[in-house]
Amino acid sequence: MTHPVRDTLLGQLDIAWALTQYHLEGLTTEECLRRPGRVGLHVQQGADGHWRADWPEHEGYDLGPASVAWLTWHLGFWWSMVLNHSFADATLTKEAVYWPGTADGVREWVHRLHGEWRAHIERLGDEDLRSTERTRWPLQGKPFGDIVAWASLELMKNAAELGYARFVLAVSKAS
């Protein structure tokens, strides 16, 4: 049986994933923790050892540029949330999503999330993607295919942000 909607969505995911992998390859913990500006969203390690991310009160430009650590946390945050709320018990909150603490940890985390997400999507048919049954986060009342498409857009946006941040860090280190 063919599933043209699912197959199109998986193709979009594959493109976004390829770019994400490119920008994660060779990423160092030092790059993650370097701040590209004097202000900007970042992560802090708590006394309990967990790395927690800043949560912005607004999305204005005056926040400053986010660190790579924060960008990778955000990628893991939304993917963890959509997986939990679509395919599990829908209890995960942002407070329970921690940054892994190292670039290797980031790669392992994001690769695991990608594998879980892709495996779930591969099992769905086009009828499942037209249904709203799984649509609980970040939107409600939309066909689940809209959530799958949103996730690929979000992944592509995060890949672009990571790439831009890595370019900025590479030239600022050289000068």
pLDDT digits (tens, 9 = 90+) for 52-68: 999 999 999 999 999 99
pLDDT of 175 strictly over 70: no
Is the pTM higher than 0.75? The answer reads yes
Contact status, residue 168 vs residue 36, Cβ threshold 8 Å: yes
- Residue 172 pLDDT grade (very low, low, confident, very high; cuts 50, 70, 90): confident
Q: What is the mean pLDDT of the chain?
A: 96
pLDDT at 115: 98
Distance in Å from the first CA to the final CA of the chain: 57
Q: At the top level of CATH, which class does the domain 4-52+63-174 belong to?
A: mainly alpha
pLDDT at 124: 98
pLDDT digits (tens, 9 = 90+) for 123-140: 999 999 999 999 999 999
CA-based torsion, 108, 26, 75, 18: positive or negative: negative
Which amino acid would we find at residue 11?
G
pLDDT of 82 strictly over 80: yes
- Residue 83 pLDDT grade (very low, low, confident, very high; cuts 50, 70, 90): very high
* Tokens matching residue 21: 């992998």
pLDDT at 1: 81
Helices and strands in the chain, H and E counts: 6, 2
Give the mean model confidence (pLDDT) for residues 90-104: 98
Tell me the C-alpha to C-alpha distance, in Å, between residue 76 and each of 60, 69, 81, 98, 152: 22, 11, 8, 9, 13
Domain ranges of the chain: 4-52+63-174
CA pair distance 120, 134, nearest whole angstrom = 11
Contact status, residue 33 vs residue 170, Cβ threshold 8 Å: no
Tracing tokens 């900007």 back to the chain, one arrives at 40
